[in-house]
């Protein structure tokens, strides 16, 4: 708690009215990668408490659309449609597609993190599972050429996850923004250019 209160990003988040210090991670990644533009349609997975959705809504104005998804409750945010539920639930997918107007997104964000047990193999497996959930969701919702920004954790199984991302996107890079604590094993996979042949056919997928 002492470290949290002394954290300069926490203090900046309070001054700027951000929901969490995590907003600065997205801001730093976007500054480097140019991920977000006005008018984009964005899906934010694991969005609560809403720091990423809040920033994305600001950056996509005017004409943008941000849909936030989380199993936990999230307070209303200007310019954000919140859908409570599990990203793997077909009903949640249908609700997201409806909120996106034509069912397609330009960018999927995921800052999802597992509840840590302290048992490294378990925590690594859970974190890679969340990354794969984000990848599967992106493949269903993105239009061809769309992008994915997803939290990953260094450890066993990450190479296999990255290979799956490389099979779906034209470019995949691993980044660690300055706002990410130096002692954390987290990093972010920046995936650009969803391949046309990789996009899952939504009609076929629903009928399976």
Task: Please indicate, yes or no, whether the overall pTM of this predicted structure exceeds 0.75.
Answer: yes
- Report, as residue numbers or ranges, the catalytic residues: 151
Domains of the chain: 22-207 (3.40.50.150)
pLDDT at site 9: 58
Q: Which residues of the chain have pLDDT under 70?
A: 1-15, 17, 19, 198-208
How many C-beta neighbours within 10 Å does residue 149 have?
27
What Rg value do the Cα atoms of the chain yield, rounded?
Answer: 16
Give the phi and the psi of residue 60 in degrees, each rounded to 5: -90, 0
Beta bridge mates, 80: 66
Predicted confidence (pLDDT) per residue in 164-198, tens digit:
999 999 999 999 999 988 878 899 999 999 998 76
Residue count of the chain = 208
pLDDT at site 13: 60
The span from the CA of 80 to the CA of 73, in Å, is: 14
């Amino acid at each position: 708690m002492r470290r949290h209160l002394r954290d300069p990003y926490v203090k900046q988040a309070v001054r700027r009215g951000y929901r969490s210090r995590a907003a600065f991670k997205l801001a730093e990644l976007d500054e480097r990668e140019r991920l977000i533009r006005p008018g984009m349609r964005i899906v934010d997975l694991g969005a609560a408490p809403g720091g990423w959705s809040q920033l994305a809504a600001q950056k996509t104005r005017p004409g943008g659309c941000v849909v936030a998804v989380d199993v936990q409750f999230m307070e209303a945010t200007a310019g954000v449609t919140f859908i409570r539920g599990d990203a793997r639930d077909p009903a949640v997918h249908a609700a997201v597609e409806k909120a996106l107007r034509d069912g397609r997104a330009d960018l999927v964000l995921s800052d999802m993190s597992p509840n840590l047990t302290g048992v490294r193999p378990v925590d690594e497996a859970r974190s890679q599972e969340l990354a794969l959930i984000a990848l599967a969701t992106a493949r269903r919702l993105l239009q061809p050429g769309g992008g994915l920004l997803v939290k990953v954790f260094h450890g066993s199984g990450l190479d296999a996850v990255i290979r799956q991302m490389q099979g779906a996107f034209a470019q995949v890079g691993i980044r660690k923004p300055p706002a990410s604590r130096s002692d954390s094993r987290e990093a972010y996979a920046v995936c650009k250019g969803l391949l046309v042949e990789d996009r899952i056919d939504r009609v076929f997928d629903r009928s399976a």
